[in-house]
Structure 1
């Protein structure tokens, strides 16, 4: 596949001569700043130390640590060495047995030789397990847990050779919304090139300031920071935990640092707008030029709420830029330009759909035009390219498309069912209209009821408007081998109010959507299954429903 002709270290060294910096905020929002020249020099020292510790170019090295200067130095040190970064979610996942199994599995899939962490003794003990558990058999022989502080300190000495653009830069695990998460191999040149193209399309420039709270185990988090720094942008990074505890800190940071660029998923903009409504802060968002909205479905109501609430603080209407992309395309496939307000098609506007799939019953947000050099086509189940306005599978080709799924060192990537004649089969349904891409939903998530194809998102968005339902915390799915569907919603309030919520939700859906659900279930807050990046896992929710594993408070049918 094509890509930029520079690796991350090559681009960083070039950008260092034109300014740019990395600022990392701690839990108390205190800044630690590195110029790009300092970052380049210290990354070389880290690479030298890692090589001395036995890490070789091409080795997969897991990184398990929260956002901090030392974590970022280790990350750029891995890239400087030519090693492959494998970023892992650092939050504890369930009990020790679950955390151990998750960590051992990721290490084994990556074929990792080492892991860098800020809590090395704890991780060593976790992987060793208890005598009753037996050894973590999935962890390869010779695997080492390295201390992040020691690695980030670096050592003096001749640095290793600078890697080229075709060197593998990271293994990015997919979100796993419809199945098991898979590892996607991404080359350094793709990390640089995809962001460079986005900058050109969206009018971002060296010297602009970018604010991000996104976790580095998420593709939007790691690719955006790496790619923008490599182009001479000032990056201001705050801990993900700060945003999760207090969503208002995101736009406060954008305002304080006078940022021109930021990025986040759709649901994060909802949280930022809600926070500003509840506790209005004196924000100045007038310098914001590019507010990328991606990584999950972009919804018209959140676009409207974001611009209505944050617009009073100066956020320009044209700054919100919906995008479409995924780990398998490095990051971005298409982007709405930052030169006009977001385009939204109502259910009765634009094309009516076709080729067996109905037009969704909700407004659809344009994800803009494909990036230059990237081709997007919409195809039927038998591979025919469909005309404009017809709904089918979105397929992508271009320099950002990766080679397939990782199967281990030396093995060719797995392309079965993924690549068709050089095109990535995304598994998403959508259509092109006047040159712009509109995404309808996931093929695997489609509901068949009453002999019709239905979109779960139509039900989930309709449910959001019912009092007592936690916004964005609704999952709809069909039951296997039946034409029955179920809607599960997280509720707010006591048991009596939740029973009332279930009845009101059932009545709302029965009268506002195409086909009434067989059952509505209200569960306790924060119990719906999500991916590590916060995406809904509809299949997992279905399994919990069938096995009785949901924390049900009330229901209606």
Structure 2
């Protein structure tokens, strides 16, 4: 299968992404290549369109009909793609789900909540996962997805598509980093608009291709990658998240060998590659064709970016390849993005002033007195953003407040949850705005994200972001990167700081390690930590997208100590 082609499709003239997908019915020279540790399997877009049509007839015979909600707990491969678009062909509403076990003990409980909340008619899963859903039998019917046979071939292709731009295209459940997951209702117009906005300013050439390991149950993997690839008709190199986590070289080697030009990843992926890739493996990589690696989904660390670019410089990777993006499920996925090929820009601000709500630029690089915040670019065209204070008044540049956005990518609302919808969708000057819950500021028209409003720590009247405390702790040897959670608890005179960290260090070393963590946080952030809780690896719960569940960890910590 060819790694590139001489033209690219455009979804701008299509009503929906399903219409864009169907136009790929004659594209047989490029498609999706599934990469594993055992090899690769390529499938052309034309074959995937045919499979999706056959799958739609199969689902129809199982009783699926328009406007039904259908859970998709499927692998990160072509099976998910054919079932997803088959649902759209029938006018069904897909609800992506994590497969059992991917999120630890949380997986089944999360699926139970979503199945109940979304009123799932069916849950599609691979045959090997079927029995794991037996405990949910009283809530939803689980349907193993069998291989297609000749009998599943349609007598005629589907012509009448029972969807419009205003139809519900997807229910994307939030990761639940600060609350229980809610179903974000996205229309087909939301989806195609956001995909177009994410790609409109990127200078696409004649040899573009996308590589991804992000899960389809998360909006970055599904919308920012899969659906955007479909909208452009690009070659797509795909793998399971677990494949990357177990061996990131497989992803990097695929990028290198297939001369991929585009990729998206969370910040932690950079540190994971730096930590796991050997010198011998480095010598096998050629990343000169990689033109853009966008970071999103979590705060961006300057240290992680610098370590990654320096480590992989010998592969031909240049710092200007690294870009940044910001978004949230309630705005489909994307809100802003840095300009391509210009690299990342970090704003150095006074830490004391930031605690007072002012982002004052300073020249100093003193880690004790300053904080570096990544620029996430300008808001997409036809979308707008403002920063407001606690009373809802717009504030001036370099003043920290809550980010509100509006535009055609903003969700319809939360599924069957009017109360939650009214809390985040508000009217201002006759316009419909989304309250993101993120603290941010603008500088020269570009956006900078400081953290989550609900996660903010207020100590002696000053505002502190838990990310700063967590990053300081992770600089200590033996503390696992990305596996720390900071929060506050009531104290005698003021709030007290607690940080929970994962470590593989023996218990005999925990006392001295905890003291090192306390001392370093005091030096770097200027805060005295009351409690350092050390836990073994893989014990701190995270969301489906790998975000830290600070409120959940806090609740567990308080309950373990007899607090309500």
- TM-score higher than 0.5 here? yes
Q: How does 1:83-232 map to 2 (within 5 A)?
A: 83-92=92-101, 100-119=108-127, 121-123=130-132, 125-128=134-137, 136=138, 139=139, 143-150=140-147, 154-158=152-156, 159=158, 161-162=160-161, 163-204=163-204, 208-223=208-223, 224-232=225-233
Aligned with residue 522 of structure 2, among 501, 510, 513: 510
Q: Which residue is equivalent to 2:267?
A: 266
Q: Number of aligned pairs?
A: 531
> Do the aligned residues in 2 keep the contact of 1:23 with 1:31 (CA within 8 Å)?
no
Q: 1:62 to 1:392 in 2, by over 3 A?
A: same
How far is the alpha carbon of 1:214 from its aligned partner?
0.7
> Do the aligned residues in 2 keep the contact of 1:355 with 1:390 (CA within 8 Å)?
no
Q: Which residue is equivalent to 1:429?
A: 439
Q: Deviations over 1:7-56 (max 9, x none)?
A: 12211233555677332425334222222222222212211221222111
Q: Which residue is equivalent to 1:376?
A: 385
Alpha-carbon separation, structure 2, partners of 1:149 and 1:413: 40
> Do the aligned residues in 2 keep the contact of 1:117 with 1:148 (CA within 8 Å)?
yes
Q: Which residue is equivalent to 1:287?
A: 289
> Do the aligned residues in 1 keep the contact of 2:359 with 2:399 (CA within 8 Å)?
no
Aligned Cα root-mean-square deviation (Å): 2.7
Is it true that 1:41 corresponds to 2:50 in the alignment?
Answer: yes
How far is the alpha carbon of 1:179 from its aligned partner?
0.9
> Do the aligned residues in 2 keep the contact of 1:229 with 1:235 (CA within 8 Å)?
no
How far is the alpha carbon of 1:433 from its aligned partner?
0.5
Q: Which residue is equivalent to 1:28?
A: 37
How far is the alpha carbon of 1:312 from its aligned partner?
2.2
Q: 1:405 to 1:36 in 2, by over 3 A?
A: same
Alpha-carbon separation, structure 1, partners of 2:271 and 2:382: 32
SS of the aligned residue for 1:508 comes to helix
Aligned with residue 464 of structure 1, among 474, 484, 489: 474
> Do the aligned residues in 2 keep the contact of 1:84 with 1:168 (CA within 8 Å)?
yes
Q: 1:59 to 1:432 in 2, by over 3 A?
A: same
Is it true that 1:59 corresponds to 2:68 in the alignment?
Answer: yes
Aligned with residue 416 of structure 1, among 408, 416, 422: 422
> Do the aligned residues in 1 keep the contact of 2:323 with 2:342 (CA within 8 Å)?
no
How far is the alpha carbon of 1:111 from its aligned partner?
1.3
Q: 1:65 to 1:284 in 2, by over 3 A?
A: same
Q: Which residue is equivalent to 1:496?
A: 508
SS of the aligned residue for 1:172 comes to strand
SS of the aligned residue for 1:230 comes to helix
Q: 1:20 to 1:403 in 2, by over 3 A?
A: farther
SS of the aligned residue for 1:497 comes to helix
Alpha-carbon separation, structure 2, partners of 1:280 and 1:44: 42
Q: 1:247 to 1:214 in 2, by over 3 A?
A: same
How far is the alpha carbon of 1:511 from its aligned partner?
2.5
Alpha-carbon separation, structure 2, partners of 1:272 and 1:231: 29
How far is the alpha carbon of 1:324 from its aligned partner?
0.3
> Do the aligned residues in 1 keep the contact of 2:249 with 2:281 (CA within 8 Å)?
no
> Do the aligned residues in 2 keep the contact of 1:202 with 1:290 (CA within 8 Å)?
no
Aligned with residue 326 of structure 1, among 325, 328, 344: 328
Q: 1:156 to 1:5 in 2, by over 3 A?
A: closer
Q: Which residue is equivalent to 2:3?
A: none
SS of the aligned residue for 2:529 comes to coil
Under a length normalisation based on structure 2, what TM-score does the superposition of the two structures give? Answer: 0.88
Q: 1:512 to 1:121 in 2, by over 3 A?
A: closer
Under a length normalisation based on structure 1, what TM-score does the superposition of the two structures give? Answer: 0.89
How far is the alpha carbon of 1:320 from its aligned partner?
1.1
Alpha-carbon separation, structure 2, partners of 1:396 and 1:4: 26
SS of the aligned residue for 1:362 comes to strand
